[in-house]
Amino acid sequence: MKTKTLLLLLLIASGISVAQKHYYKGNTHTHSYPLSGDATTTWTPEVVVAAYKAAGYDFLVFTNHVAYFDFSALSSPDLTVFSGEEAGISGSGRWGHFTAMKIQSQIGGRDKTHQQLLDEIAAQGGIGFLNHPRWSVIPITALQVINDMKQNLRHFEVYNVNTDTPTRFDTSLWDSVLTTGRLLFGVASDDAHKESHLGKGWICVYASSKHPDTLFNAIRNGEFYASNGIELDTIGYSPEKLYVRSPNGTRVTFIGSSGRQLAVVHANEAAYTIMENEGYVRAEISNSLNQTAWTQPWMLPQTTDVGQSKSSVGPETPTLYQNFPNPFNPSTAISYQLSAFSFVNLRVYDVLGRSVATLANAEQHPGRYQVTFDAGKLTSGVYVCTLSARSTAEVWQVSSVTSKRMLLMK
């Protein structure tokens, strides 16, 4: 998403290709029989996988009711399968169901708070999704999210086939949380309990492959859009603009703080210039068939009071310095500066866009870093070092991609 547009700008400037990314379609809320007792008896894990594969999906997350099972053996080159669980708690006003993606063992909700459940999912290395918050049986309010789920919650369903219709979905919880300055990613899902639920809601993840770790990291970082029928081929973010384009959308609505409509464009593509007093901007793309897609919000550095001007102490763009020495043989030092706690990916590509080295791929604290790139096994030529950094703070989000050319002379 953001990475795509920024890399395209870099390609124009440098004339050098980098590894191509694609959108991969998947469902993050999938039940099966007998682990989810209310699933249709014919809806077994093997049938589920075959049905989603036939429908052209690229990945699937199993979320049976408080029942973990390792489904990884059902993965294939055509469909990546993630193990998970729909972990739930109930009673005493503490209702809630959570997708626990890529956990390692069963998580029970008895006698736990929402926050304890989310913390346990995170402790197992998984991602927690708040499922169907508008379901009348266990409705979750924005105030509950803000007060009772303060950490380890970045994803929630804005559309669920069993609790919403294509024309009636409620994003007020999403906008209420975003307006506080807290980052939250919107997800659409099938909540599939039987085959007729398939293909009603999904996310499209922007990633370089269907490898489980690659997809997982992209989902964790919000590199996806949610949809119940709309396709997006371009989502472009910059510090000043949000741009979207869809082959089957006819209306673009840009939405800001408190869910306020900022602009409506009757076309299949549109751009919105972000104002300095806007805490966040997101887009909804729709058409006459009552289909909708939701982009993730572009969060801006801001003061505590939404609507005020951008904070002067907000995070600055991460800096990638020119390697030294350059030209080099066979090793060189690469330095970069972070002004915020970020998930960092530092890679080196050759002139054909092939990744030849990953120098960093982890969350890092603010500060200056230096790594050594050893090209002893590579041939002479031009290489491109690319720094991708995405802030992970709760109150703002900054994404940045920058590159430097390096010359290896042997």
pLDDT tens digits, residue range 295-346? 999 886 433 333 333 322 233 568 888 888 888 999 998 988 887 778 889 9
Q: What is the DSSP letter of 62?
A: E
Please give the Cα distance from 230 to 130 (Å, whole number): 23
Cα–chain-centroid distance for residue 177?
Answer: 17
So what's the pLDDT on residue 9? Answer: 40
Give the confidence band of 204 by pLDDT, cuts at 50, 70, 90: very high
Inform me whether the pLDDT recorded for 101 exceeds 60: yes
Which of the listed ranges 28-32, 233-237, 396-400 does the model predict with the highest average pLDDT? 28-32
State the average pLDDT for the chain.
85
Please give the Cα distance from 79 to 82 (Å, whole number): 10
Give the residue-averaged pLDDT of 93-120: 86
Annotate 99-118 with b (16+ C-beta within 10 A) or e (fewer).
bbbbbeeebebeebebeebb
- Which value, to the nearest 10 degrees, does the dihedral of the CA atoms of residues 76, 388, 203, 130 take? 110
Tokens of 258: 């408190």
Q: Which pLDDT tens digit goes with each residue over 149-174?
A: 999 999 999 999 999 988 888 999 99
Annotate 67-76 with b (16+ C-beta within 10 A) or e (fewer).
bbeebeebbe
So what's the pLDDT on residue 167? Answer: 85
Instruction: Give the least confident one: 127-131, 137-141, 226-230.
Output: 137-141
Inform me whether the pLDDT recorded for 125 exceeds 70: yes
Tokens of 25: 């379609």
Inform me whether the pLDDT recorded for 347 exceeds 50: yes
Q: Which pLDDT tens digit goes with each residue over 274-286?
A: 887 788 999 999 9
Q: Residues with Cβ < 8 Å from 382, sequence gap 6 or more?
A: 16, 351, 405, 406, 407, 408
Instruction: Please tell me which residue, 108 or 113, carries the higher pLDDT value.
Output: 113
Q: Which pLDDT tens digit goes with each residue over 34-88?
A: 999 899 999 999 999 999 999 999 999 999 998 999 999 999 999 999 999 999 8
Give the confidence band of 95 by pLDDT, cuts at 50, 70, 90: low
The percentage of residues in the chain with a pLDDT greater than 90, rounded to a whole number, is: 58
Nearest to 98 by CA among 73, 122, 72: 122
Tokens of 78: 């055509």
Give the confidence band of 93 by pLDDT, cuts at 50, 70, 90: low
Cα–chain-centroid distance for residue 288?
Answer: 27
Give the confidence band of 375 by pLDDT, cuts at 50, 70, 90: very high
Give the confidence band of 99 by pLDDT, cuts at 50, 70, 90: very high
Give the confidence band of 395 by pLDDT, cuts at 50, 70, 90: very low
So what's the pLDDT on residue 56? Answer: 97
So what's the pLDDT on residue 226? Answer: 98
So what's the pLDDT on residue 205? Answer: 95
Whether residue 91 contacts residue 126, with contact meaning beta carbons closer than 8 Å, is answered with: no
CA distance between the termini of the chain: 37
Burial of 317 (0-12, 13-18, 19+ CB in 10 A): middle
Structural domains for the chain: 2-228 (3.20.20.140), 319-408 (2.60.40.2550)
So what's the pLDDT on residue 91? Answer: 61
Inform me whether the pLDDT recorded for 396 exceeds 80: no
So what's the pLDDT on residue 250? Answer: 97
Give the residue-averaged pLDDT of 269-274: 91
Nearest to 198 by CA among 157, 161, 158: 161
* DSSP β-bridge partners for residue 168: 165
Q: Which pLDDT tens digit goes with each residue over 6-33?
A: 433 433 343 333 346 789 999 999 999 9
